[in-house]
Amino acid sequence: MTSYEAQLYRAVVGSHVPTIPHIADSRHLPATSRQFLRDTLMVAPVARPSKELGREYPEASKAIRLHTRRILGGSDPASVVPQLKLELDERLRLAQSARGSAASPP
């Protein structure tokens, strides 16, 4: 899945963003896909925050999916994003609390 051919196939068939930047210029992709991939590849990748969130990661990920779905479904982002931030802040607080209590002796 890391070869040029595999990533090109996944970009064409599944709209997956490749890790090889020049795939975005492939003539096998529709022009709109090429522009989307060029734009996407300009964004620095970010690792999943699983280390920071620990056991709270699945719930934080779920919150992101649900709130994104709400926005895509027509809800006002100005009201949805603050709600998501509150949920993520709480998950992070719980994760930090769990790490703190795990490090403390009984």
Question: Is the Cα torsion angle 80, 81, 86, 91 positive or negative in sign?
Answer: positive
pLDDT confidence of residue 50: 85
Asked whether 12 and 29 are in contact (CB, 8 A), the reply is: yes
- What's the pTM? 0.55
Q: How confident is the model at residue 43 (pLDDT cuts 50, 70, 90)?
A: confident
CB atoms within 10 A of CB 88: 18
Sequence-separated (6 or more) residues with CB below 8 Å from residue 53: 60, 91, 92, 95
State the number of CA atoms in the 13 A half-sphere of 54 facing the CB.
12
